[in-house]
Structure formats: structure tokens, C-alpha cells
Structure 1
């Protein structure tokens, strides 16, 4: 069973029309008849019998974001389960109705102007920082989960979010959730969720917003593993007018060692300071006292950074990596004052 116009959920939410569809869910425009406002209703297209894990994911998304009140995170209003006459149960989320365009759709037309890209990433970073302060790791930060609205960027879809430091998913490769092109190298291991992995994904998102392509062009987890085995290097984004400190900050987010990446709030502060409200380059962005500029001290604007696996044994997709070649030593100060991650609540 699926939703249809005219359906009334919980004697409150009147379904109007379908406004989006994904692989396992639909999004419907609805009217909250109690508060007299338009809302979005996200409903699963699978049943509990078919996809019990998706039911758990929908509940997890509701719990993960219900306590998050931030201008750059989509607000969740309610959770419910609709039972149909044949016994089918469909869970749904009632959320803020957004007016805007998906960032992934926007990037099909090419990269954003650098001030827009930097401002968007700053807003996404601020939303992630709010989640990290509550101990929530998104685990699927990518352009497809960012909506561009008249009031700024909104982070979407906490369906596979997890608590920082929690036990990884069970099963062979069960921890491999999200999108490979934006997954940090350590995500290939069955380690606990860590906010630093969201920062890596944020760096990949900003890199793509600036250049039109992600740092690693991979579509599957096996391709991601093979790419990291080849120890690829990522050159700084080459964009006319982009402050060198911002280019260096992007690379700092992509550091192999998660402990060397900045925290999401540091990224937000640095990026916000790099672009003033007018959208023009901040003449102070080259000043070493400015937040983004400090990253340029240790990451030369012309030097690509290695993305090799760390030396020593580690596992990826259930198989061991061979010892990696020694990494070049980064210059002092490249990210010395960045903390590893926000503590869980």
C-alpha cells in the first residue's frame, strides 16, 4: 500500500500530492489541520515484513533529528505509522516543508560560484556541528542530502545517523552505509561512528561544489577500497579568486588521519569568515589572523595531499589492507589546533 491524495494521517495530516520519490520512500505535501500549515510527509514504500531495517532507520531518523533545532537542519515535527485494511503498516515522518533545490541537482549545471559554494558549506558545517554536539553522526553527507532554500542550506536525511562511539552495525560489511564517494577512508573499517567522518564528507562536498566533481570518482564500496589502495592524491581546488586559506581548509577536511581534521564548528567558523554577507571575497581572508587562513600555513596551495591508508594493518570491506607506504610528513601547523571530534552527549 502507499499514500494517496485525500488520505488523513493520525486524524491530522491531510495528504495533498506527491512531491518526491526515492528508492525506498516517497515525499508527500500535506496540510497539518491542527496547526493549519503545510508540511512534508516522508513515507516508506516498503512494508515491515519486506524491509524491517528501513523501519528502524525511519525511527532512528526521527529520534536523531527531533531534538535538533537548527536553521540548517530540516526540522522533524512528528512520527507515525499508518495501518491499512490489509494489515500493511507504513511508517512516516512529518517534517518541515522546504522550498528550494537539491544541491546535487544544482551541480548538474556546473560548480557553484566560489562564494556561494563556501557559504553553503559553512551552513552545512554549522548544521553538522549542532548534530555532533548532541553526539549524532550523520554518516551520509553529500550534495543529494543538502537542500538550497531561500533561507540557506538545509541538511536532510538522518536515516542512517548513529551515535558517536556506538557499536558498529553487525554482519559482514554491515557498517558500509552511506555513499562511497563521500566516505572517509576509516569508514571502510568496522569502527564506531565518528564526527570526523562527517567532516571528511563535508570536505568532499565542498570540493565538488567548487570544482564540479568529487575528490574520488567512485560509485561502489569496492571502487572506494581500490581507490584508497592506489593512494590517490587530491590537488587543491583551483578556482579563480578562491582564498588560499579556503583551498587549504578543504584539504584539511580530507586529511587521512581523522584526528588531524578540523571539527565541524571550526569549519563553519572559518568558511563563514571567508565570505562576507555581500558574497564578495573578504579582503581579510588572506590575513593569517582570519580562521580559514591559518590552514594555508601548512598546506601549500600547489601541493596535493595523499589519501593513502594509514601504515600498519587495517581492514576494509572485511579484507586486510597491505601495509601502506610512509606518508609524507605534513608541515607543522597544518591543523595542529583542530580537535578530533565533538564528544557524544
Structure 2
């Protein structure tokens, strides 16, 4: 009887120890909050898709655009250019494509720079659509590389309101142009001065100042990367565009073009965003002028992680179809890079 009791006691003890051990293992296997956050961060994709508002410029401008008088109208009566949907609806339009980050273009809001009520309403539209603003592309504000110090100062100050709007909307950057007149060396010197001055204001607001390869000297990757080196500020960077590498244009199109793959590689070390410019597609859904996979391999090898913005400018597809085609191509390429 004593032996049976000892055996029973031993069995109960073993069961208790086994249960306790299993319980401890289960408890230990449950990740802590910090571990769960780490796992979630690891699962975050390297690249996400945003939508540049310029992809819908024909839509907002109502189709045919009088480019010859565009600049004059923009300065004198900018709202007259808007003959399509209200740009206030852009957040909802982007959300309809399954895209939750947008890149605004100041051209569509040129009369709203000082209208706080408008931007409060716009932010509400973003919240309702579940959309955030990544950056604001700024044009028609003057040349940051102007040789005249007073004109350059005025250009810098013209950007202040857009820095303020970017801060209010929660954007990370404004995109600017490093343009000017003179030799490559002269424009570079003046652009460095203009960018540094604007970047000081941007830094105080937590906003990056980023330069796109956008024609002229800026489409020369060596030139623009050299400007970045000379500026040497943490909140100054680039927005490499897949297709904007035309240095000089003639009556029939580009007559001097920089190698886009070399240019992307030169600009990526400074990139705080990427612009996936697209025009036309082949029967397999690939962009005919830019090898998206080749470019995105360069982007990935640079260590960049973040948003790649759709910027469709083609004519063969509608803007709606072009946006969808570019999104599908990017998603295919992202999958191939995994």
C-alpha cells in the first residue's frame, strides 16, 4: 500500500511538473510588447506606393491646357486654370486607387497659400479618406539658383508658406527646383546658397527640402549630387525621378539626355523620396522608356526604404488607366525584389 501511495505521489508530482513546464513555455513564448513591435517593423515592406497629384493634372485642369499662357494665368488668376474636379477631393481620389499617401502640387492650390481655413478643411478630407500627405511639389516660386541675391532671397521666402503648409499637413518634405542662369558652376554656387537658406527655415519646422532632377543642370546627376555635397545639411536631399533626365530640349524634343540609370545611382544616396515617372507601356505592362526593375534594384541597393510615387504623364492611356498601369508595374517589381 505504501509503495502504491509513493507511486501515485510520484505520478502526481510528474504531472504537476510537466504542466508547470508547459505553462512556463507558453508564457515565455508569448512575445513582449517590444518584441511584437520589432516583429511588426520587420514585416513592414521596404517600399510603399504614393500618388503624385501631377498624374491627374489634365483632370484638374479640365483637359486641354494652354501652356503658352499657363504661367501668366497662374500668377494673375490661378483658379481659372482649374476647370475639372476640386483639388480638395484629391485625397478621396487617391484612396479610390488603394493609395494612402499623396504628393501635392502647389500649382493646384496657388491661391490658397495663406488660406488657413482651406488647409484645415483639406486636412479633414485627408483624415476622412485615411490618407496622409508625404510631400508638396513647389513650382513657379522663382529660382533658388538665381544669381541676384535679392531675387534669390525673395524666392526662398516665397517657399516659406509651403513649408508651413507641409508642417501643418504632417508632410515630411517640399520638393523645390535648383534652377538659375549662368554656367553650371555659377548656378551650382547660387543653388547651394539658396538651398541652405531655405533649409534653415525648413529645419525649424521639421521639413526636408528636396530637389528633383527637373530639367537643365538638375537633370545631370553629377551636377546635382555635387550640389548636395556642397549643401551638406541633413534636411536637404533629392527626389530622384525615373524619367526627368533631359538636360536640353529642342523644338522636336530632347536633344541632350543624361543616362537615367547612372543618374538614379548618383542621386539615391541623398534621396528622401522616389518618383516613378511613367509614359507608355508595352503589351507586358512594362514602361517602354524606363526599366523599372533595373531602377528599383538601384534604389534597393542604395538602402532607401520608403515611398515610391506614381507620376504618370503619358498620352496613350488616360490618366486613370496610366495610374493603374504604373501601380500594377510597381507592385510586380516590388514582388520581384523580395
User: After TM superposition, is the score higher than 0.5?
Assistant: no
* Larger radius of gyration between Structure 1 and Structure 2: 2
TM-score by length of 1: 0.25
Structure richer in helix, relative to its length: 2
TM-score by length of 2: 0.26
